[in-house]
A and B are shown apart, each in its own frame.
Chain A
Amino acid sequence: MRDIAIVAYHQSRAVADAGACNEVEMIMPVLNEVYGQVGINNAQDVDFVCSGSCDYMQGAAFAFVAGVDALGAVPPIKESHVEMDAAWALYESILKIRMGSAESALIYGFGKSSPGELPIVLSQQLDPYYLAPQWIDTVSLAAMQARLLLEQGVITERDMAAVVSRSRRNARQNPNAQLAGDISVDDVLAEETYLSPLRRVDCCPVSDGAAAMIICTEDKAREWGVPYALIRGIDHRIETHHIGMRDLTDSASTRLAAERAGVGDGPVDVAELYAPFSHQELILARALGLGEQTDINPSGGVLAGNLMMASGLARVGEVFNRIVAGEAQRGVAHATSGPCLQHNLVTVVEKA
């Protein structure tokens, strides 16, 4: 199959509240940035556009329709949308290029989570008859998962604290991060628990913002004459919604997706993992078979800033940035959806 090149990536700074900005105003500057990176004018200059967003973030049906207003879609364009993280919009776009109906694609994701109470909103993605009426929020579910890991001795609280400490430290180099700073493992452990055993710092912040990427065939990348990285593998898998039927201390779907995407076919210099909770990074690193040689979440990951519906795409973007900067040869990006890592997507990106 044809290799797909990533040629441009940009994201807005993760902020707790984008204030007066509406979605279009949030998306447009990010799009302009990626257009600039490859020297094109607007979405008319790519063959396909695909976006990811969620109506319930904004609290209005058809919230994604506003996104089209940012594209300059006159004359009409080839465009589609997933009600998922934009990492899955990337997946759809890759299929379009591989089937030969596009040479290039623009992918963007956006979320303005600040208008609602995200963990409560997300409780409504659970089984509508048995679980959603109980309003079980996503943080509580993650806390149960963390407790299993701790009680089974798979990880320690110190391991979780180390994830948080490294995230904050790495985020100091990331101008887009919302949370960054020097916080030692002991500092983390000294904090009160929030939803036991999770501390507030174990949980990702909720951020407003958007991210955009342009991908294309290798020929097109050479024509544009811009630095690029290659997507060597991409796969995603979902597992049962019944939490009681899953081994929450592992991520079987990540393991499977990693195998299919070929993560183990070479050394992994860098990995960006969509782990909204510190313990989930530990689960994911194991499921992906990552070892000491891999720099995990050099951006700080989503614990440092979480652009809902764009964070998965942002992970791919972060790996792309490291590779074109020459800091890494080969990297892995991960995206997730659903409670306790139910649905996972893995992308392998390599130096061209």
Chain B
Amino acid sequence: MADQQDTITGIDVPVYLKYNFTAGAGPARFLSQVKNGKLTGQRCPRCQQVYIPPRGSCAACGVATEEELVLPDKATVQSFTIVSIPIPNNPIKPPYIIANLVLDGANISFIHLMSECVNEDVRIGQRVQAVWKPEEEWDYSMDNIRYFKPLDEPDVPVAQIGKLPVSGWEGMSDA
């Protein structure tokens, strides 16, 4: 019998739990459309704001959203960060840019990658467009869009971000 043992200061106890996730009825509609390369938002019946990806409800009003509308794949940079540290379970290698982007015709941003750009030139109000994976790789996922790349369009004034029509920024300035 050993009286003197090293003090145990920790044990590894891996926890594995399996879950079958459900996206929800609203998001499921979005995902089935994105599989066909379409970005489908939902409009709140009360405040008329357009959510994408939709979550089946308007968080501000607490009501269900049902009316759907297909949005273009052009967007405006609401803000962004350059991530320089690796994140567990994240397959993307740093440094990379993640941005809060607002699609034309939408009133809320979502997070996605930006690429094909000079990091130092990325700015709030910048115009970008989706770069899609080849159609045969499309799945029920926002990953169908590989990233967003800069567009050769004038920047959107900050006050206008999140308020563009479906026709986009240039569509608006024409009108």
Contact = CB atoms under 8 A, between A and B. Distances in A.
A20 interface: yes
Interface in A47-106: 56, 58-59, 68-74
A25 interface: yes
Contact of B56 (A25, A56, A120): A25
Contacts of A71: 62
A162 B63 CA distance: 44
Interface in B3-31: 11, 13, 15, 17-28
Contacts of A59: 17, 19, 21
A133 B13 contact: yes
Nearest to B46: A72
A244 to B, nearest CB: 21
Interface in B120-151: none
B28 A20 contact: yes
Contact of B59 (A21, A68, A121): A68
A121 B17 contact: yes
Contacts, number: 82
A18 B23 CA distance: 12
Contacts of B59: 68-69, 73-74
Contacts of B24: 20-25
B61 interface: yes
Contact of B18 (A23, A117, A133): A117
Nearest to B25: A20
Q: Is the interface of A mostly helix, strand, loop or mixed?
A: loop
A99 to B, nearest CB: 27
Chain B: interface size category: 20 to 34
B175 interface: no
A124 B13 CA distance: 11
B97 interface: no
A69 B22 contact: no
A115 B22 contact: yes
A31 interface: yes
A72 B55 contact: no
Nearest to A124: B15
Contacts of B64: 25, 28
B17 A72 contact: no
B87 to A, nearest CB: 14
A128 interface: yes
Interface of A: 18-25, 28, 31, 42-43, 56, 58-59, 68-74, 112, 114-117, 120-121, 124, 128-129, 132-133
5 contacts: A18-B22, A22-B22, A22-B55, A72-B61, A133-B11
